[in-house]
Amino acid sequence: MSRTAFVFPGQGAQAVGMGKDAYEASARTREIFSQADETLDCKLSDIIMNGPDVLLKQTVNTQPALLTVSYALLELLQERGYKADYVAGHSLGEYSALVAAGVMSFTDAVRTVRARGSFMEQAVPGGRGAMAAVLGAEREALAELCRTISEEAGVVELANVNCPGQIVISGTAEGVAAAAERGKEAGAKRVIPLDVSGPFHSSLMKPAAERLGEVLRGVAMKDADIPVIANVTALPVQEAAVIRELLEEQVYSAVLWEDSVRWLANQGVDTFIEIGSGTVLAGLIKKVDKSLKVISVNSMASIEALGSS
């Protein structure tokens, strides 16, 4: 039996003007953007539409902006009768997945991710942390190298296990630099430093996770209508209490994206609909299993094309 998963992108997928044609064509989209502005008491919609890029790239803006665009496009899809058997999101995208699964309201989610972005930015002083994409390394060998370097030079850990041959590492500036220098020991062909404001998804984010935990305890959550694949475990979860705990852990734990895609494929999911800015997840999913069908819904035009295909 054919099954479908809705998947939602995270930080790095943002672009000034994302969702613009949907905003211009749909009153519901404009309403959602206004809701975000009112909830955060700022002109987030103006930052999304007009930038500048440097403002959109600030984690505290990026996170609610991506969530808002993903939710607006999700609503347009659902209006047309599209449904999913499972949902998943990459890091920040997990919040879009939780809104899609009925766990939390959009306004609660947008308020929470604004706080999450702020806590993540503040957790480690500027310049002390770093992240890098490691291409071509073998996962276990890279994990072992990171363990060794963490003892010798400074914390460095696997942050995003995206697909075969693409793993992001995160930690102290010294730890990440040492891992980049010695990457060939784990089979790395290239190591690319990432332009980020902190060592996300590493143990250095535990202070941010604790602060986020306090916020999450005040957010109304319901059990999920459909299974959500958690980043931390790459397994389905539906109980609100467990989701709350996993969201706190997610801030300092690796995003197991490759494992999540493989688990979904093993359940018979053969169609992934990526909902939100860009096509980042489509590329990763195809690298995990090129037989999977991936559709990127990132504009009104892509929704209309979906209807005519």
Beta strands 86-89 and 3-8 are parallel
Backbone angles phi, psi at 38, to 5 degrees: -65, -40
DSSP for 130-178 reads EEEEEES--HHHHHHHHHHHHHHTS-EEEEEEEETTEEEEEEEHHHHHH
Banded model confidence at residue 306, pLDDT cuts 50, 70, 90: confident
Q: Is the pLDDT of residue 309 over 60?
A: no
Q: Is the pLDDT of residue 250 over 80?
A: yes
**155-171 mean pLDDT:** 98
Active site residue 90: no
Check residue 308 and give its pLDDT: 63
Banded model confidence at residue 27, pLDDT cuts 50, 70, 90: very high
Active site residue 201: yes
Banded model confidence at residue 284, pLDDT cuts 50, 70, 90: very high
DSSP for 17-60 reads TTTHHHHHH-HHHHHHHHHHHHHHTS-HHHHHHH--HHHHTSHH
Which domains does the chain carry?
Answer: 3-123+204-308 (3.40.366.10), 129-196 (3.30.70.250)
Q: Is the pLDDT of residue 1 over 80?
A: no
Q: Is the pTM of this model over 0.85?
A: yes
- Marked catalytic residue, from 70, 201, 260, 296: 201
* CA angle, residues 231, 112, 261, in degrees to nearest 5: 15
**102-117 mean pLDDT:** 98
- Marked catalytic residue, from 91, 150, 253, 302: 91
Banded model confidence at residue 126, pLDDT cuts 50, 70, 90: confident
